[in-house]
Amino acid sequence: MTEMKKVSEMSSEEIKEAVKQNYKRVAQPSGGSCCPSPSAEQTEQTSSSCCGPEAKASDPRTSYAEELGYSVRDMPESATESFAGCGNPVAVASLKEGEVVLDLGSGAGLDMFHAARRVGETGRVIGVDMTPAMIEKAKYGAEQLGLENVEFRLGDIEDLPVEDGSVDVIISNCVINLAPDKGKVFEEAYRVLRPGGRVMVSDIVLETPLPEDVHDDISYYAGCIGGAILKEEYLQLMRDVGFEDVWIVEEAGCGPAVSAKIAAYKPK
Ligand SMILES: C[S@@+](CC[C@H](N)C(=O)[O-])C[C@H]1O[C@@H](n2cnc3c(N)ncnc32)[C@H](O)[C@@H]1O
């Protein structure tokens, strides 16, 4: 059996390639979830994220329906079967008619579709994802819904294919933990937001450091746990690029890895 390379020995490009391959699989029909199969010991060490015993928290058929006040049965199966989020940023983003929304790591498009309904015909939702199979799947879902206010861009959230100051709200669901350079993601988010614009992301953050074997395991990294950083470090990285009023709106889970909804504002 070939030994897998440790994450700490991989370049950023190698990590991103492994993440891409994982989400190419998740984009297939019945491609499975984002999560690796943990050993019993690792489950104990990491419990409570999208990969822990509370995995139903990321099931769009339960949490989304409750939080958004309508059924996800209205959504195409292509979007729900490949959903890989760990929260529901749209539920707390207070989106308004006419706003321009950017979804970082939009996957099969479920959050974009909810957002598109909220911002209406005068608004627009842009999704950026680096996995071509996810972009294709999200485009298919948008066609099924007949949405004309959504747009999909293949790209890296560390180098956004988006104009400076052109976005009102940034959402993201369980993606920033996957970026090797999270500071760069926040710099880019700050650049593309208009003054006074806001961020509302769901992501996995850590209460305490992960055991080294979990942190160094690429399947855990691609499964949204291994790349997660300490909560305070995450918030500080956002403040460092200029965001203010950075705070945790909600938090779920009880292990070292928790799912948090995080808000931040670009000064006016
Ligand atoms: C855990 S999934 C979440 C997808 C979606 N937000 C959802 O809630 O279903 C992570 C997604 O982020 C994308 N992704 C990961 N790292 C990325 C990066 N550096 N740039 C762009 N997309 C990225 C993956 O291709 C994948 O579609």
254 alpha carbon – ligand 1 mean position (Å): 24
Closest CA to ligand 1's atom 20:
156
What single DSSP character describes residue 60? I
What string of DSSP letters covers 75-117? S-HHHHHT---SS-HHHHS---TT-EEEEET-TTSHHHHHHHH
Say how far apart CA 135 and CA 152 lie, in whole Å.
Answer: 6
Model pLDDT, residue 241: 98
**pLDDT band at residue 74 using 50, 70 and 90 as cut-offs:** confident
DSSP bridge pairs for 124? 100
Give the pLDDT of residue 37: 42
* CATH assignment of 7-265, among 3.40.50.20, 1.10.10.10, 3.40.50.150, 3.40.50.1220: 3.40.50.150
Q: What is the pTM of this model?
A: 0.90
C-beta 15 within 6 A of ligand 1? no
User: What would the pLDDT profile of 21-34 be if each residue is shown by its tens digit?
Assistant: 999 999 998 665 55
- For residues 157 and 154, what is the distance between their CA atoms, to the nearest angstrom? 10
Give residue-wise pLDDT tens across range 249-258.
999 887 799 9
Identify the helix (H) or strand (E) that includes residue 44. helix 40-46
178 lines ligand 1 (CB under 6 A): yes
Ligand 1 center from residue 107 Cα (angstroms): 5
**SS3 state of residue 257:** strand
134 lines ligand 1 (CB under 6 A): yes
Answer whether 133 contacts ligand 1 (Cβ < 6 A).
no
> Where exactly are the structural domains of the chain?
7-265
Q: Which tens digit of pLDDT belongs to each residue from 198-247?
A: 999 999 999 999 999 999 999 999 999 999 999 999 999 999 999 999 99
